[in-house]
Amino acid sequence: MGKSSLWRIPRDHFRTLRDATTNRPRVGDFVLQIGIPLISGMASYCAGLGFKDVTQAVVGISIVAGLLFSMAVFLFQLRINFPNDPRITQTDKTLIDECMKNVLWAIVWGLLLVVYLIICQATGSMGSGKTGSILTGIAVAAAVHFLLVIAMCLKRLHRAYERIAMHRP
């Protein structure tokens, strides 16, 4: 796909799910990022839920994704301001880089979720029968993943603030 390919963004996001001390993948992070959303989606499907109107969800997710763009700009600016600052350690730079990767994934995932919800709403298939429950389960799983990625972004931003602004180890 060349210049329009976004495949590095999810790859980079999931590569951040590592233990900082051992540099090994953290199973707990993968369970949280993938398992919890899947369980939520399956629970929604098993409960027979079907969204009738997703307009407010589309608006809310769109706003949050837009705000994440500003966070990405902030992180980009923060990262380029500290290329050779001796007060900023490699750990700080890695933390900022990981936060940026998570933010970019949240933006992409949020936009994909919005497009998915718009298509489901337009076809009227989300609120009807078994197909509606399946589509709603997918939407619930995707929304839970979106929220968990945002939580990870906030956690990393908070940690960067502690390390850089407050000088905490």
Per-residue pLDDT tens over the stretch 48-68: 999 989 999 999 999 999 999
pLDDT confidence of residue 82? 80
pLDDT confidence of residue 1? 61
The strand pairing partners of 25, in sequence order, are 18
Q: Return the percentage of the chain with pLDDT > 70, whole number.
A: 99
Q: How many Cβ atoms from other residues are within 10 Å of residue 31's Cβ?
A: 13
pLDDT confidence of residue 148? 98
105 assigned to some structural domain? yes
Query: pLDDT (tens digit, 9 = 90+) per residue, 127-166?
Result: 778 899 999 999 999 999 999 999 999 999 999 999 888 8
Residue 59 to residue 78: CA distance in whole angstroms: 29
63 assigned to some structural domain? yes
151 assigned to some structural domain? yes
Residue 163: give the domain boundaries.
Answer: 51-169
pLDDT confidence of residue 83? 74
27 assigned to some structural domain? no
Q: How many independent structural domains does the chain possess? A: 1
- Please give the model's pTM, rounded to 2 decimal places: 0.93
61 assigned to some structural domain? yes
Please determine, for residue 72, whether its predicted confidence score (pLDDT) is greater than 90: yes
pLDDT confidence of residue 8? 95
Q: Pick the more confident residue, 5 or 99.
A: 99
Q: Pick the more confident residue, 21 or 36.
A: 36
- Average pLDDT of 21-34? 93
pLDDT confidence of residue 143? 98
169 assigned to some structural domain? yes
40 assigned to some structural domain? no
157 assigned to some structural domain? yes
- Average pLDDT of 26-34? 95
Calculated CA dihedral for residues 40, 42, 47, 48, nearest 10 degrees:
120
CA-closest candidate to residue 107, choices 18, 9, 33: 9
